[in-house]
Amino acid sequence: MKYVLVSGGVISGIGKGLIASSTGLLLKTIGLKILTAIKIDPYLNVDAGTMAPTEHGECFVLDDGGEVDLDLGNYERYLNVTLTREHSITTGKIYQHVIERERKGDYLGKTVQVVPHITNGIQEWIEKVARIPVDDTNEEPDVCIIELGGTVGDIESAPFIEAMRQLRRRAGRDNFCQIHVSLVPVVGGEQKTKPTQQAIRDARSAGLSPDLIACRCQERIVEATANKIAMFCQVEPSQVIAVHDVESTYHVPLLLQKQGLVDQIRELFRLDTSSIPQALVKKGEATWHDWNALTTSQERFLESETINIALVGKYTNLHDSYLSVSKSLEHSAMACHRKLKTVWIDASNLEKATLEASPESYHKAWHDLCTADGVLVPGGFGHRGTEGMIAAANWARTKPKPYLGICLGMQLAVIEYARNVCGMKSAGSIELDAQTDNPVVIFMPEIDKTTMGGNMRLGLRATNFQDGTEWSRLRKLYNNQPSILERHRHRYEVNPEYIERLSEAGLNFIGKDDKGERMEIVELKDHPFFVGVQFHPEYLSRVLRPSPPYLGFIAASAGLLQQATAATLAKAASANGKGNHTGQTNGVDNGLVNGMSQVSLSDSTSGF
Ligand code: GLN
């Protein structure tokens, strides 16, 4: 097992996660078979499930229901792997593990301490988890990227730093390398190297020895700056990797590649690439070719090819709160050959109360909504902004404009329909109003109804398309598979008691769970695209394998879905596309989008 540690200095939030994922992607391109990734978050929370998205960005959900840091989403997307909750390590988790062992008597007679018990616990965890197969080959990975959150020098990361120092020795020569991500601020037009010098000094005094220094800078780093860093940090100029701000995050791997990152790591690991089987080398090259072709094509889209998507949410101040949603929109927009413009609308600004308090915000929000090509209401929790989201769903349904409701966005679309089509004026959700007369959305935990903790429906679950739903566009986009697997994260569901009334009024519940009790997908028939899904398809979207609901939504917003001929849809339905790790296929793989927009993605061989 070879490890690449990605750590940070100066400040956090400067793209360590992206550099880690991009490094992984690059290593894949030289034919390394399987890469895996572990994220260390030195906070005390056991997982990210209870953390505010407005502070930490979205909570990413894995197949196994693990609620983890959004960086694991980046790894899954860039490395095309399926990770487990064990790939996310927090201080809380490690302490819980060590304390449980202490209670069981595993350390009987010993004083349990940070060093060696916590530090050993961290290393053992990493060594075990790095070996978990993460793709359908079911083989042990070759390389594990470890990203250490926060910055070296933080009090809370100290045990992890010490564990990393020891892991380097344990892994042995040629099996461990470290990339330290630092910041080069520009002050008065001058690129400053002092913070980086200090960051390297801090890392070294903690016993770490970074092999490569990735310098983040708002502008291109000039040679003199790189040389100065090399000189003062006692490294070769080639070990200084300059990472300036780029237009699209998809360009970061290109930037790293240009500076020879792969060769550097190859050398550090003394990798004998001649022993890599030709088939894998070819696959790696194809991955690289596809990545280049797709991500550089983005700039060539014309302004006239822009589609405006209104994202009507609650956490719009921090766009990372909806990272996977944004990424999924991007994947689909690239597939449809359109430039994506996401218009962020704070849902409460669409509400009447805002008209009084801040007419400007109200009118701006409505202007943004009215001029959008499609409306997306993502997942969320709690009451704030939900009336605004219902108004957005109503707008999209009646205009009609393409609508995609994710989880809460589906629940609210159902409430809107109940209120305005079925005449149940007080229809609501128990989550938002416990006293509602018409509880169209109710609490339906899988296990225990009495406790609030641990009762979320989490992870991969099946949705079965119902008989008589062959007309469904979404079903066709899922390649007409009878059953699909998507990830979930919710407590509430559409109330089964209202299904008959809603269905009779024209709201089609086309997908249900295995027992037929839980409503998973709603779709309107006579509408350009009006879909609500109880699951979160964004967690499985990939650059070259856009998620079907997002793809349909973007295609409809671009006016392409309506144009899709019966023949194209039929082709999509019958073709035998390539599957992802959950056995799903979609319209991109089998040519639906090719037929619509003439972009050719179907012959991609890389599968990322
Ligand atoms: N709050 C809703 C529920 O718990 C929706 C959750 C979500 O959108 N992820 O069911």
Strands 240-244 and 306-313: unpaired
Distance, CA of 100 to CA of 352 (rounded, Å): 52
| Substitution candidate for ligand 1 out of 59, 322, 408 with most atoms within 8 A of CB | 408
pLDDT in tens, 260-271: 999 999 999 998
The CA-based diameter of the chain, rounded to the nearest angstrom, is 75
Mean pLDDT of the chain: 89
3 state SS for 205-260: HCCCCCCEEEEEECCCCCHHHHHHHHHHHCCCHHHEEEEECCCCHHHHHHHHHHCC
Catalytic: 363?
Answer: no
Specify the pTM. 0.90
Cβ 489 under 6 angstroms from ligand 1:
yes
Is it the case that residue 299 has pLDDT exceeding 90? Answer: no
* Cα separation, 464 vs 515, whole angstroms: 9
Tokens coding 355: 């008209």
pLDDT band for 403, please (50, 70, 90 cuts): very high
pLDDT of residue 14: 87
Q: Where are the beta strands (DSSP E) in 301-359?
A: 306-313, 339-346
Structure confidence by residue, pLDDT tens digits, 59-105: 999 999 999 999 999 999 999 899 999 999 999 999 999 999 999 99
Does the CB atom of residue 518 touch ligand 1 within 6 A? no
303-603 and 2-293 share a CATH fold: yes
Distance 370 CA to ligand 1 centre (A): 26
- pLDDT, average across residues 418-445: 94
CA distance 100 to 446: 27
Cα separation, 511 vs 534, in Å, equals 10
CA distance 443 to 457: 11
For the chain, domain boundaries? 2-293, 303-603
Please tell me the least confidently modeled range out of 1-5, 19-23, 570-574.
570-574
Q: Which of 135-139, 148-152, 489-493 is the most confident on average?
A: 489-493
Q: Which amino acid is at 5?
A: L
Whether residue 274 has pLDDT greater than 90: no
Share of the chain above pLDDT 70, in %: 91
Q: Is the C-beta atom of 535 inside 6 A of ligand 1?
A: no
Q: Comparing 142-151, 342-351, 564-573, which segment has the lowest mean pLDDT? A: 564-573
Q: Locate 132 and state its tokens.
A: 């978990």
Residue 147, CA distances (Å) to 24, 41, 61, 88 in order: 11, 9, 18, 10
Q: What is the mean pLDDT of residues 579-600?
A: 44
The fourth-level CATH superfamily of domain 303-603 is: Class I glutamine amidotransferase (GATase) domain (3.40.50.880)
Encode pLDDT of 356-376 as tens digits. 999 999 999 999 999 999 999
Domain at 2-293, CATH from 3.30.930.10, 3.30.1300.10, 2.30.30.140, 3.40.50.300: 3.40.50.300
544 pLDDT higher than 80: no
Is the pLDDT reported for residue 188 higher than 80?
A: yes
Q: Return the residue whose CA atom lies nearest to atom 6 of ligand 1.
A: 490
Confidence at residue 283, expressed as pLDDT on a 0 to 100 scale:
85
Whole-number pLDDT of residue 124: 97
